[in-house]
Structure 1
Amino acid sequence: MGGFGRSVFGVLMLGLLLLGQATSRADSPAPAVVSRCVLDGTVDAGSSAFLVDCVRRAQEAGHQALLIRLDTPGGELESTRNIVRAFLGARIPVLVWVGPSGARAGSAGVFITLASHLAAMAPGTNIGAAHPVVGLSGQDPEETGGKEMARKIENDAVAFVEAIAKQRGRNVEWAISAVRNSESVPAEKALALHVIEHVAPTQESFLEWANGRSVTVGDTPVTLRTANAQVVDLRPSFSQRFLHALAQPAVVYILFLIAGLGIAIELTHPGLFAPGVVGVVCLVLALLASSALPVRTGAIVLLLLGVALLVAELFVTSGLLGTAGLGLLVLGGVFLVDRFDPGWFLDSPLQVPLRTMLPTAVFVAGAAVYLAFRAAETRRRPQLAGDAGLVGEMGQVLDTVSPSGGEVFVHGERWAALSSSPLPAGTRVVVRRVEGLTLFVDEVKS
């Protein structure tokens, strides 16, 4: 009995141990999930739609937080407002990490960083230069839009950034200085100024640091559980990626050139179909991209006029039209992007790079010159088609040819023929003229 009792006791202890382990596993929380998305490049309609969508998707999935990896020179103010609105109204914590080293939160990026619940920067990054006058060419609004316009734009931006900094409890004075004075600071100084909360070399170290910290989401305090969190990457949709890729001055420039060439070729050579289709598609894409960039209408007119002159060169072959067309293509590229647009906040110029514009313009002009040369060369050749193309062709008599009629074989075909004197079958002849479907031939003297 003693042995049996010990066996029963052992089984009971084992059962209790297994039950305890199962209960412990049931009580232990599952690893937290953090959504992550990347803003790399200008803030435009495509990237704005992506970040707003990231907030929505992270909320619907019930994730612990949303982590944004940021590297931007700035961008469109209205798109920035959409992102800030989504961050301020988010129902989950939004974390912004400016990185990796060498990245920046420039101009519009300042507003986005300040709107986050917690912000960190990698060593070797910087934030600031949010003055609207930097715009697209470094010109001051007082030089391009007048003092009143400059004051209006600046005060609106100051009020915007001040409201964000106050709501998130960050350094209001520095935020205002970043707009008024284009102040920009590195990561370590941003931390000392309470612009950000942490300097983190990696996103993982930022999440480890954020673990256990409390932030206010809406009116509710939320304690972050981000240590060893499972990070889920959110990808932009095709339309968001496509619109973001289109919103580049060089892309708009090339699209307008292709559109102009395609449409011009179709108008001058009806029935080719393919150039017209390509031209119309590129024109639609160029107009779509223009809606996301401050593009000048006058510059577009210059580009299309330049293309028209290059096409006209195909028919005139003077050289002057081609040269003028090349000049207009370059001018259109230089002035394509508006040099002052109050709707954009950038800490570096936004323009068509010379390394893209000049080779493209020269290539298009060179292609037009080549086609013009080939067209001129073709016009100098004797006509090989139609009635005129038969004159001078050699052939052979099939059935005796006389002033009353006969048949000859010319240019791979049987023809009715007449001659001034009878010519027997097999005689070599040459066509002197053509009237309707009848050839007038003479014997080839050997």
Structure 2
Amino acid sequence: MRTRTDCRTGTAALLGFLAVALLAAAPAAEKQEPRAGPQPTVARCELDGVVDAGSGDYLVDCVARAEAQGHAALLVRLDTPGGSLEATRHIVSAFLASRVPVLVWVGPSGAHAGSAGVFVTLASNLAAMAPGTNIGAAHPVVGITGQDPEAAGGKQLARKVENDAVAFVESIARQRGRNVAWAASAVRDSASVSADRARELRVVEHVAPTEADFLAWADGRRVDVAGGDSVRLATKDARLVDLEPTLSQRAVHALAHPSIVYLLFLVAALGLVVEMSHPGAIAPGLIGLVALVLALVASSALPVRAGALALLLVGAALIIAELFVTSGLLGAAGVLLLTLGGVFLIDRFDPGWFVDRSFHLSWAWVAPTTAVLAGAAAYVAYRGAQTRRLPQQGGDAGLVGEQGTALAPVSPSTGEVFVHGERWRATSPAPIRPGAHVVVRRVEGLTLFVDEVKT
């Protein structure tokens, strides 16, 4: 027979069981209810063109800014023919040391990751390529002829440069878990593959037509960042935040091209020629000086020959000298030196640069620009020679032969005339009446020696 005490005990146990069940269910119910978190952000920057000091500093700065601003990832849109190995090393070091996942997208269609661009792509945590793009050809070939390092610098130097580049690219591919053998062949054999083939060879992880498709594919994947941490990407529907380069980075990157450097030298030469032929114009000389400074700054960021720079400067000096000699030979020699300086401007073999064969100064650019400069310089010299043959129009000598009117009686000792819109003290060996026409024969100080013009 159940007692009242037993009933109370059973009731208390039932209530306790229900309380424990509710407490246990509360967290589960809380987990099932979705929470709306803040929208993730992905920093974005671009590497478009040559890898140089300006673009290298920009990408390194992008990594630092992405970390400081707490972005979920850094997306780099890449289209480059390659560039400076030193700048590439800085970029790769920043990517490998980044605590923010770095995603590289080679695009849009038609873009490529050539030469030094291979190192940058392999250093990313995840890489994708747009259809119609390619990656590879990282063999150290530079210059106007695309000459092989062995032919340009000797077998020992070529082997040293190549082995160093192979070790560099292999270490990057191994750390990121990509195809080490292909990375080495891209340097040794200039191997180049399309987007689909790159994915098959594990050079990149995905083929994506747009940045949004790449970010959607990358969402939820885990990548290892610096410090040994594993990060799960939250990139789907992320808000892109563009990181713009500084003014100095943009300027250095814009100037770092052989055609721009050569054009600046030509502008400098033409500006100085005009200033020398027309002293006091100021503007042409100032433009020429600024162009010369910019050309020297830009050449410091490129693999240029010191001898080629000397040819350009001497050529400009000869064209300026032609203004004072007018022999024709100095001007022709100056134009020839400018042409040779442009042709040999880019070093045929510089172990610090990995770029495509397209990175050079072609005859199609040198010949027309030099011809334009030669024509402009010849015209300036011709006009200068014509000017020197004209009678002097200013100063004391410019008054000789000019005619005017006598304002007061002119005698051997005193008088006043009006010449060139000015009143002058005048004398004459014969008396001249007021209102008579006079002609200036000689000038001494502020006194004009005149004769009457007989009508």
**Alignment partner of 1:67: what SS?**
strand
Structure 2 partner of 1:92:
100
- Name the residue aligned to 2:233: 224
Q: What SS does the aligned partner of 1:402 have?
A: coil
Give the aligned residue type for 2:199: L
Aligned positions of 1:252-263 closer than 5 A: 252-262=261-271
Partner of 1:167: 175
Shift of 1:395: 2.1
2-side partners of 1:240 and 1:415: how far apart? 62
Match of 2:204 in 1: 196
Q: Could you give the per-residue CA deviations for residues 107-154 of structure 1, whole angstroms, max 9, x where no partner exists?
A: 101111111111111111111101113566411112111110000000
Of residues 175, 185, 188 in structure 2, which corresponds to 1:180? 188
Question: In the TM superposition, what is the alpha-carbon distance from 1:204 to its structure 2 partner?
Answer: 1.1
Q: Offset of 1:266 from its aligned partner?
A: 5.8
AA at the equivalent of 1:308: A
Quick one: structure 1 residues 135 and 107, their matched pair in 2 at CA, closer, same or farther if it must change by over 3 Å? Answer: farther
Runs of 5+ consecutive residues of structure 1 not aligned to the other structure: 1-20
CA-to-aligned-CA distance 1:20-71 (integer Å, 9 cap, x gap):
x999888233332211111111111111111111111111122211111111
Partner SS for 1:398: strand
Following superposition, the deviation at residue 264 of structure 1 comes to 6.2
1:54 to 59, 62, 65: 62
| 2:346 equivalent to 1:332 | no
Q: Following the alignment from structure 1 to structure 2, what is the Cα–Cα distance between the partners of residues 216 and 133? A: 34
Cα–Cα, structure 1 residues 369 and 331, in superposed 2: closer, same or farther, change >3 Å?
A: same
Q: 1:409 to 1:224 in 2, by over 3 A?
A: closer
Moved more, 137-146 or 258-267: 258-267
State whether residues 44 and 79 of structure 1, in contact with CA within 8 Å, keep that contact through their aligned partners in structure 2. yes
CA displacement at 1:265 relative to structure 2: 6.0
Letter of the 1:417 counterpart: A
Match of 2:137 in 1: 129
Q: Which residue of 1 aligns with 2:75?
A: 67
Question: How far does the alpha carbon of each residue in 1:176-220 deviate from its partner, in whole angstroms, 9 at most, with x for none?
Answer: 111000000111111111111111111111111112222112312
Q: Following the alignment from structure 1 to structure 2, what is the Cα–Cα distance between the partners of residues 368 and 428?
A: 44
Alpha carbons 1:135, 1:347 under 8 Å: kept: no
In 2, the alpha carbon distance for the partners of 1:436 and 1:215 equals 89
CA contact (8 A) 2:277 2:323 kept: no
- Write out aligned runs for 1:340-379 (5 A): 340-379=349-388
The whole-number CA distance in structure 2 between the counterparts of 1:264 and 1:229 is 56
SS in 2 for 1:440: strand
Residue 142 of structure 2 contacts residue 359 of structure 2 at CA under 8 Å; is this kept in 1?
Answer: no
Structure-2 change in CA distance of 1:378 and 1:269 (3 Å): closer
Distance in structure 2 (CA, Å) of the matches to 1:134 and 1:252 = 17
Please tell me whether the aligned partners of residues 317 and 372 of structure 1 are also in contact (alpha carbons under 8 angstroms). Answer: yes
| Equivalent residues of 1:33, 1:64 under 8 A apart | yes
Q: Which amino acid aligns with 1:50?
A: Y
Secondary structure in 2 matching 1:226: coil
The equivalent position to 1:145 in structure 2, one of 153, 156, 167, is 153
TM-score normalized with structure 2 length: 0.87
Give percent identity, aligned residues only.
65
Matches within 5 A, 1:297-316: 297-316=306-325
Asked whether the equivalents of residues 143 and 347 of structure 2 are also in contact (C-alpha less than 8 Å), the reply is: no
Question: For the residues of structure 1 that align with 2:94 and 2:404, how far apart are their CA atoms?
Answer: 83
Structure 1 position 390, deviation (Å): 2.0
Give the Cα separation in 1 of the matches to 2:450 and 2:74.
89
Is 1:432 the counterpart of 2:441? The answer is yes
Partners of 2:134 and 2:89 lie apart in 1 by: 21
Does the 8 Å CA contact 1:131/1:180 hold for their aligned counterparts?
yes
Q: Does 1:118 align with 2:126?
A: yes
Instruction: State the TM-score, normalizing by the size of structure 1.
Output: 0.89
The answer to whether the 8 A contact 1:64-1:225 is kept is yes
